[in-house]
Amino acid sequence: KAGVTQTPRYLIKTRGQQVTLSCSPISGHRSVSWYQQTPGQGLQFLFEYFSETQRNKGNFPGRFSGRQFSNSRSEMNVSTLELGDSALYLCASSLRLEPVSPLHFGNGTRLTVT
Amino acid sequence: GQQLNQSPQSMFIQEGEDVSMNCTSSSIFNTWLWYKQDPGEGPVLLIALYKAGELTSNGRLTAQFGITRKDSFLNISASIPSDVGIYFCAGQTSTGANNLFFGTGTRLTVIP
What digits encode the pLDDT tens for the residues B16-56?
999 999 999 998 998 999 999 998 899 999 999 999 999 99
Q: Contact, B14 vs B28, CB < 8 A?
A: no
B35–A105 CB contact, under 8 Å? yes
Inter-chain residue contact B43 with A107, CB threshold 8 Å: no
Q: What are A23-76's pLDDT values in tens digits?
A: 999 999 999 999 999 998 899 999 999 999 998 899 999 999 999 999 999 999
Looking at chain B, which residue has its C-alpha nearest residue A32? B98
Q: How many Cβ atoms from other residues are within 10 Å of residue B64's Cβ?
A: 20
Find the closest chain A residue to B91 by CA distance.
A102
Give the DSSP H/E element, type plus range, for residue A62: none
Contact A91, A24 (CB under 8 A): no
How many angstroms separate the CA atoms of B20 and B82, rounded? 16
Name B48's bridge partners.
B33
